[in-house]
Amino acid sequence: MVLEKLGNVLKLGIKKITNAIFVDKKLIDEIIKDIQRALIEADVNVELVFALSQKIRKLAIDETIKGVDKKEQLVKLIHDEIQNILGGEKQELKLQKKTTILFLGLYGSGKTTTIAKLGFYYAKRGRKVALLGLDTQRPAAMDQLEQMAAKAKIPAFIDKEEKDPLKIIKKYEKDLEDYDLVIVDTAGRDGLNKELIKEIKDIEKKIKPTHRILVMPADIGQAAKTQAAEFQKALSIDGVIITRMDGSAKAGGALTACAETKAPVYFIGVGEKIHEIETFDPSSFISRLLGMGDLQALLEKVHSATTEKQQQRMEESMKEGKLSLLDLYSQLESMTQLGSMDKILGMIPGLGNAASKVPKAQLEKQEQKMKHWKNAIHSMTQEEIENPELLEKQTGRIARIAKGSGTTTGEIRELLKQHKLINEMMSSQSGLAEGKLDQRTLQKMAKKFGGKMRR
- Binding site residues, Mg ion, CB under 5 A: 111-112
Is residue 136 a contact residue for ligand GDP (CB under 6 A)? no
Measured from the CB of residue 145, what is the shortest distance to ligand GDP in angstroms?
A: 9
> Helix 282-290 vs helix 4-19: angle between axes, to the nearest 10 degrees?
70
Work out how close the CB of 276 gets to ligand GDP at its nearest, in angstroms, rounded to a whole number: 6
User: In this structure, what are the phi and psi dihedrals at residue 208, rounded to the nearest 5 degrees?
Assistant: 50, 65
Q: How far is CA 364 from CA 124, 331, 335, 339, 447, in A?
A: 59, 16, 12, 10, 18
CB of 260 to ligand GDP, least distance (A): 22
User: Is residue 165 a contact residue for ligand GDP (CB under 6 A)?
Assistant: no
* CB closer to ligand GDP, 42 vs 75: 42
The residue (of 59 and 197) whose beta carbon lies closer to Mg ion is: 197
Can residue 13 be called a binding residue for ligand GDP (CB under 6 A)? no
Cα–Cα dist 134/12, whole Å: 49
Q: In the bound complex, what is the minimum distance in angstroms from residue 152's beta carbon to Mg ion?
A: 15
Q: In what order do the strands lie in the sheet with 211-217?
A: 156-157, 129-133, 181-185, 99-104, 211-217, 239-243, 265-269, 277-279
| Other C-beta atoms lying within 10 Å of the C-beta of residue 293 | 11
Minimum separation from the CB atom of position 332 to ligand GDP (A):
53
Question: Does position 247 bind ligand GDP by CB under 6 A?
Answer: yes
- Which residue has the closest beta carbon to ligand GDP? 269
Residues 187-216 that bind ligand GDP (CB under 6 A): 188
At 419, which amino acid appears?
A: H
Nearer to Mg ion, 130 or 422 (CB): 130
Query: Cα–Cα distance between 353 and 446 in angstroms, integer?
Result: 9
Could you tell me whether strands 181-185 and 99-104 are parallel, antiparallel, or unpaired per DSSP bridges? parallel
The Cα–Cα gap between 285 and 86 comes to: 9
**171 vs 275, which CB is nearer to ligand GDP?**
275
Q: Which of 211, 244, 250, 419 is the binder for ligand GDP (CB under 6 A)? A: 244
Least distance (Å) from ligand GDP to the CB of residue 252?
16
Nearer to ligand GDP, 138 or 322 (CB): 138
Nearer to Mg ion, 111 or 419 (CB): 111
Q: d(Cα 442, Cα 53) in Å, to the nearest integer? A: 50
Which one of ligand GDP, Mg ion, none is in contact with 270 (Cβ closer than 5 to 8 A by kind)?
Answer: ligand GDP
* Phi, psi angles (nearest 5°) of residue 269: -95, 130
CB closer to Mg ion, 134 vs 363: 134
DSSP helix/strand/coil, 110 = coil
Long-range pairs, 25-32, Cβ under 8 A, ≥24: 25/60, 25/61, 28/56, 28/57, 28/60, 31/56, 32/56, 32/57
The 3-state DSSP class for residue 266 equals: strand
Contact, 269 vs 114, CB < 8 A? yes
Contacting range for ligand GDP; rule: CB under 6 A; set: 82-90, 242-250, 305-313, 404-412:
242-250
Map the footprint of ligand GDP across residues 258-277, applying CB under 6 A: 269-272, 276
Helix, strand, coil percentages for the chain (3-state, nearest 5): 65, 10, 30
Residue 320 near which of Mg ion, ligand GDP, none (CB within 5-8 Å, type-dependent): none
Identify residues 104-133 at the interface with ligand GDP (CB under 6 A).
105, 107-114
Name residue 392's beta-bridge partners.
Answer: none
Q: What is the DSSP letter of 179?
A: -
Using CB under 6 A as the binding rule, whether residue 278 contacts ligand GDP is answered as: no
Residues touching ligand GDP, count (CB under 6 A): 19
Residue 95 identity (one-letter amino acid): L
Nearest to Mg ion of 111, 225 (CB atom): 111
Q: Where do the DSSP E strands lie in 79-179? A: 99-104, 129-133, 156-157
**218 or 344, CB closer to ligand GDP?**
218
Amino acid at 386: E
Amino acid at 431: G
Spatial contact of 120 and 275, defined as CB atoms under 8 Å apart: yes
Which part of the chain contacts ligand GDP (CB under 6 A), choosing from 118-126, 241-249, 288-296, 421-429? 241-249
Shortest reach from residue 42's CB to ligand GDP, in Å: 18
Question: Measured at CB, which residue is nearest to Mg ion?
Answer: 112
- Pick between residue 280 and residue 449 the one whose CB is nearest to ligand GDP: 280
Interface with ligand GDP, residue 252, by CB under 6 A: no
Binding site for ligand GDP (CB under 6 A): 105, 107-114, 188, 243-244, 246-247, 269-272, 276
